[in-house]
Structure 1
């Protein structure tokens, strides 16, 4: 299998992509959190994202039409200068190929065209790889009241006991 991203197709998602995205959410995280973890990931990307947020989201397919990555992002309805990346997934076989960075760069270009100057996203403080990745992409970690081995996090951000690392990137 090649991991040459020039052979990939980047396109806007449709509702028909929902089962494949759900498959990725179940299988691409190497069993993280067991069945409960897979269900939590699936619940984070309900069908509505592929019905109502398609113009700023992406799916990426290989030459055989197999889903290798997706990004769900949108323009903020309430903050005219901001956009938000809600969820990103990359098939483990394609991690490190540049497909993730390519999706982010395409998202940045789309939101710049829409007049947005800031992008926000988040991750859990235990996901050190995600924190490092977002920093490499130029995101800044926002201050937080918690410290996870040098990583600031905001306590109870997504509910009681659910701290999050908050990122912002100025475009």
Structure 2
């Protein structure tokens, strides 16, 4: 199997991601990934492509408010590509990008029911916090992740 090519995202990648993200999650999730993320943070986001097209992506941000911090907002891997290390590779590439910009901490969040994500982040060395009630407003409990670089 050919390894996917990983590159910096471009604003035009949004349409390909939007077309598949709900299917990849098995539920409506696109509302959590508006176009503005690739319009404004494509230079800190990654896309993985293979011969069959989009295989994965990572939307990341270098915090403009916290000069030591970076944030991973959204990551997706094609269901047929899962278990092959692509998500780990995307995270490692983002960690390297964050270090290049003198960031020392990476954070992320997920839903408490997303046990696979929680386990994945633990394996990558993130500290898991929470669940934090009302993290994103009333009734929006989330689990937080923090990793020192």
Q: Does 1:125 align with 2:112?
A: yes
- The CA distance in 2 between the partners of 1:88 and 1:168, in whole Å, is 16
User: Which residue of structure 1 aligns with residue 45 of structure 2?
Assistant: 57
Aligned length: 149
1:8 Cα deviation from its structure 2 partner: 1.1
- Point out where structure 2 has 5 or more consecutive residues left out of the alignment: none
User: Which residue of structure 2 aligns with residue 72 of structure 1?
Assistant: 59
Secondary structure of the 1:162 match is coil
Deviations 1:125-159 (A, max 9, x none): 011111000000110012xxxxxxxxx31001111
Match of 2:70 among 83, 99, 102: 83
User: Which residue of structure 2 aligns with residue 140 of structure 1?
Assistant: 127
- Point out where structure 1 has 5 or more consecutive residues left out of the alignment: 33-37, 143-151
Paired residues for 1:3-152 under 5 Å: 4=2, 7-30=3-26, 32=27, 38=28, 41-64=29-52, 66-142=53-129, 152=130
* Runs of 4+ that moved beyond 4 A: none
Bigger Rg over Cα: 1
Mapped contact 1:84–1:120 kept (Cα < 8 A): yes
Q: TM-score, normalised to structure 2's length? A: 0.96
1:20 Cα deviation from its structure 2 partner: 1.0
User: Which residue of structure 2 aligns with residue 161 of structure 1?
Assistant: 139
1:121 Cα deviation from its structure 2 partner: 0.2
Mapped contact 1:9–1:63 kept (Cα < 8 A): no
- The CA distance in 2 between the partners of 1:111 and 1:27, in whole Å, is 29
- The CA distance in 2 between the partners of 1:16 and 1:76, in whole Å, is 23
Deviations 1:2-36 (A, max 9, x none): 3x5xx211111112211111122121012x3xxxx
1:46 Cα deviation from its structure 2 partner: 1.2
CA RMSD of aligned residues (A): 1.1
Q: TM-score, normalised to structure 1's length? A: 0.84
- The CA distance in 1 between the partners of 2:11 and 2:43, in whole Å, is 12
